[in-house]
Amino acid sequence: MRLGFIGLGSAGKALARAMARAGIEIAGVASRDRRRAAEIATELPGCQAMTSQEAVDRVDIVFLTVPDDQIEPVCDSLRWRAGAAAVHCSGALPATVLDSAARAGAMIGSCHPLQVLTGGPNDAELLAGSWFGIKADEPLRSELTKLVEAIGGYPISVSAEGKALYHASAMFAAGGVVALVAAAADIWETFGHGREDGLAALLPLVTGAVTQLQARGLPGALSGPMARGDAGTVERHLAAMSETTPELIPLYRELGRLMVGLSRELGRADPASLDQIVELLQPVNERPLAPDQP
């Protein structure tokens, strides 16, 4: 199958490079920036810089790796043909944004790499070992599965109904982690250090947590006061944050409740201590009254 890419952002470049390194022929690449297309084409054996319409006319599977809000307009602007295939790489959009290609007789589908791609030179290497959400009918699904496996990825079928939730999960695990580390690093400014110091100090901790997740899974990788049932430490955290970073307390409470749930699943902490933590995590005006209070 001859492959082509329309759009050479982070995903397009990474996928094209990874497939070419796996010995898969990339016949053509297209971009609004013709110079970028020419540069990428020189990296890929047998590849040519093309216009978007030339890619549709000359290749069998066209990957539309343009920004999400451009996928449907770009697809609609092209003349598709029966026997070709149009594939987008959005994690959130359904394949139906490619309906204009389907009406012309082309197969349509989506193939989303579950990986953080930023446009760097090592992005292609990150795809090996990554999972890919695939939505397509046969025979296109089998072709996409083969391509993913050829670059060392793991294909998984994602239904149209489940796609938004699949992508929300990815946001929690990627962007959500970055946002949490940013909040954690900001706390360092309250005790005499800069955000950069906080990030440098916390990154090995984050790496350790990921290593434990890989080795021990869920809930075994949980650590910290919730894993131990250490209510006193949680109380001290909340008291200190109320004086310095009160805006982060709602986030601390929500994460704490999730960690308590994992701790109960883990089964190491005293249940009564976890009940005490749950009470501490409630806003003061929502906590249950003591038996001797009116």
User: What pLDDT is recorded for position 290?
Assistant: 54
pTM higher than 0.85 for the full model?
yes
Per-residue confidence at 291, pLDDT binned at 50, 70, 90?
Answer: low
In the chain, the DSSP E strands lie at 3-6, 26-30, 48-49, 61-64, 85-88, 107-114, 131-136, 154-157
How confident is the model over 140-167, as a mean pLDDT?
95
21-47 pLDDT tens trace: 999 999 999 999 999 999 999 999 999
Cα–Cα distance measured from residue 247 to residue 244, given in angstroms and rounded to the nearest whole number: 9
Cα–Cα distance measured from residue 177 to residue 171, given in angstroms and rounded to the nearest whole number: 9
User: What pLDDT is recorded for position 288?
Assistant: 59
Cα–Cα distance measured from residue 106 to residue 60, given in angstroms and rounded to the nearest whole number: 10
Question: Worst-scoring range by mean pLDDT, 49-63, 93-107, 168-182, 280-294?
Answer: 280-294
Percent of the chain with pLDDT over 70: 97
User: What pLDDT is recorded for position 289?
Assistant: 53
Per-residue confidence at 155, pLDDT binned at 50, 70, 90?
Answer: very high
How confident is the model over 200-222, as a mean pLDDT?
96
* CA neighbours closer than 13 Å in the CB half-sphere of residue 48: 9
How confident is the model over 81-100, as a mean pLDDT?
95
pLDDT at 292 over 90: no
Q: Which residues pair with 108 in a beta bridge?
A: 86
How confident is the model over 131-152, as a mean pLDDT?
97
How confident is the model over 143-164, as a mean pLDDT?
95
User: What pLDDT is recorded for position 160?
Assistant: 86
SS3 percent helix, strand, coil of the chain, rounded to 5, is 55, 15, 30
User: What pLDDT is recorded for position 118?
Assistant: 87
User: What pLDDT is recorded for position 72?
Assistant: 97
Architecture of domain 3-160: 3-Layer(aba) Sandwich (3.40)
Q: What mean pLDDT, rounded, does the chain reach?
A: 94
Which residue ranges does the chain devote to CATH 3.40.50.720?
Answer: 3-160
DSSP-derived secondary structure letter, 191: G
Residue 219: asked if its preceding bond is cis (omega within 30°), the reply is yes
227-270 pLDDT tens trace: 999 999 999 999 999 999 999 999 999 999 999 999 999 999 99
User: What pLDDT is recorded for position 218?
Assistant: 97
Phi-psi region of 251 (alpha: psi -120 to 50; beta: other; left: phi over 0): alpha
User: What pLDDT is recorded for position 285?
Assistant: 65
Cα–Cα distance measured from residue 105 to residue 162, given in angstroms and rounded to the nearest whole number: 26
User: What pLDDT is recorded for position 121?
Assistant: 79
Q: Where is pLDDT greater, at 120 or 60?
A: 60
